[in-house]
Homo-oligomer: A and B are copies of this chain.
Amino acid sequence: MSRSKKKPADSPDDALPKAVGHRLSLYLRELQRLLSDGQETTSSGRLGQLLGISDAQVRKDLTYFGHFGYPGVGYRCDELIDAIRRILGTDHRWKVAMIGVGNLGRALLGYRGFAQQSFDLAAAFDVDQSLVGRPIDEVMVYHLDSLDETVRRLRIKLAMIAVPATAAQEVADRLVSTGIEGVVNFAPVTIQLPEGVSLIGVDLAIEMEQLTFAALNRLREDRSATDGD
């Protein structure tokens, strides 16, 4: 996954490394699962084990935000869930726009995982007149021409871009002008946003390439290990 901004993503002077935010999301998932399994408390060791990292890393990540554990008890799952949701900003719900309801956009409209984690798809946009004015998976489709007006009126703060690569930058620029806070770009192209608007790029084929790259690297390592004998 690309996290592309004009500023390098993990510049050393960042107070909060991006990886910490990502791990907070992973802790939240595991805590929600533990709680739904009936576990009321847990520990940094258990969380670390579930995620394949050290207990020290878990404690260090949480220390950025305060003190959460109890001596002899560990973490109370419900309290830590609430705390992490506050830190991530998902203690209240966010409205999300989907731009482009072709193949992938339409699929994402039906994906239930967003609503479970505080994200409500509030509007979809497309240039195809035959799609406009009717809901898809209960999300109303508007014409792209009404983007600015609709996003402001519905107070939408986040957007997903699932338009063809050639249209992605223009759509992103129009979203920025509405005062949006963040964008997930699914179009297979790198787009540029100004500072102050977050951007995450998701290119599913790139993820697959990282698998084949890793598979080849294992082969290369095996060969060089054999060469060394």
> Which A positions have Cβ atoms within 8 angstroms of B?
1-8, 15-16, 18, 21-22, 24-26, 28-30, 33, 50-53, 87-90, 94, 96, 103-104, 106-108, 110-114, 116-117, 119, 157-158, 165, 181-184, 188-190, 192, 196, 198, 200, 202-218, 221
Find out whether the CB atom of A198 lies under 8 angstroms from the CB atom of B214: yes
Contact A107 B111 (CB under 8 A): yes
7 pairs, A vs B, C-beta closer than 8 Å: A3-B210, A107-B111, A113-B203, A182-B215, A184-B204, A202-B204, A202-B207
Contact between chains at B210 and A200 (CB < 8 Å): yes
Q: CA A211 – CA B156 in complex, angstroms?
A: 13
Measured CB to CB, the closest approach of chain B to A130, in angstroms, equals 18
CA distance A6 to B52 in the complex (A): 5
Given A29-B190, A189-B29, do A22 and B206 touch, yes or no (CB 8 Å)? Answer: yes
> Are A104 and B96 interface neighbours, CB within 8 A?
no
Given A16-B217, A21-B210, A111-B107; A117-B205 close (CB under 8 Å):
yes
Residues of B within 8 Å of A181, CB to CB, are 211-212, 215
Interface centre among A5, A25, A116 (most CB of B within 10 A): A25
On whether A184 and B211 interact (CB within 8 A), knowing A5-B52, A51-B4, A216-B89, the answer reads yes
Q: Is the CB of B1 within 8 A of A207?
A: yes
Q: Are B205 and A116 in contact (CB under 8 A)?
A: yes
